[in-house]
Amino acid sequence: MSIGIRYGGIPRAKERAVTSRVDDDDTLRIEWPESAHGIDGSDPGIILRHVETGEECEATNLKALSAGIWMASRGGEPIATDDPGFSLDDLWSYAETPRNREIRAFRTSVGTLGLRVREVEPYVEVIRVIAEDGVIEVEGAVAYGEPIRGAAKLVAVARRGPEPVSGPANFQGRWFDGGIEIAPMAEAQVRRRVFWDLYAEFSGTRLPLATRLDDITDKKTKIRFPAQRVGQVRVRPYYTETDSLAVALSVEEESS
Task: Kindly compute the dihedral angle of the four CA atoms of residues 42, 46, 51, 55, in this order, to the nearest 10 degrees.
Answer: 80
Q: CA-CA distance, 4 to 158, in Å (whole number)? A: 44
Specify whether 15 is located in the same domain as 78: yes
Specify whether 60 is located in the same domain as 151: no
Specify whether 130 is located in the same domain as 142: yes
Specify whether 115 is located in the same domain as 127: no
- For residue 256, being part of any structural domain is answered with no
pLDDT for 14 beyond 60: no
Per-residue confidence (pLDDT) for residue 109, from 0 to 100: 92
Q: CA-CA distance, 148 to 226, in Å (whole number)? A: 30
Span 200-234, pLDDT tens digits = 999 999 999 999 999 888 999 999 999 999 999 99
Specify whether 11 is located in the same domain as 92: yes
State which residues form the domain around 75: 3-119
Span 89-130, pLDDT tens digits = 999 999 999 999 999 999 999 999 999 999 999 999 999 999
Q: CA-CA distance, 256 to 115, in Å (whole number)? A: 57
- Residue that finishes a domain, picked among 58, 92, 119: 119
Specify whether 110 is located in the same domain as 164: no
Span 165-194, pLDDT tens digits = 999 999 999 999 999 999 999 999 888 999
- Residue that finishes a domain, picked among 69, 100, 119: 119
Specify whether 146 is located in the same domain as 111: no
Specify whether 145 is located in the same domain as 131: yes
H, E, C per residue of the chain: CCHHHHCCCCCCHHHCECEEEECCCCCEEEECCCCCCCCCCCCCCEEEEECCCCCEEECCCHHHCCCEEEEEEECCEECEECCCCCCHHHHHHHHCCCCCEEEEEEECCCCEEEEEEEECCCEEEEEEEEEECCEEEEEEEEECCCCEEEEEEEEEEECCCCCCEEEEEEEEECEEEEEEECHHHHHCCCCCEEEEEEEEEECCEEEEEECCCCCCCCHHHHCCCCCEEECCEEEEEEECCCCEEEEEEEECCCCC
- Residue that finishes a domain, picked among 98, 119, 140: 119
CATH number at residue 169: 2.60.40
- For residue 79, being part of any structural domain is answered with yes
Specify whether 111 is located in the same domain as 151: no
- For residue 77, being part of any structural domain is answered with yes
Specify whether 48 is located in the same domain as 155: no
Specify whether 245 is located in the same domain as 127: yes
Q: Model confidence at 33, in pLDDT bands (50, 70, 90)?
A: confident
The values of phi and psi at residue 7, to 5°, are -100, 10
Specify whether 129 is located in the same domain as 247: yes
User: What is the number of domains present in the chain?
Assistant: 2
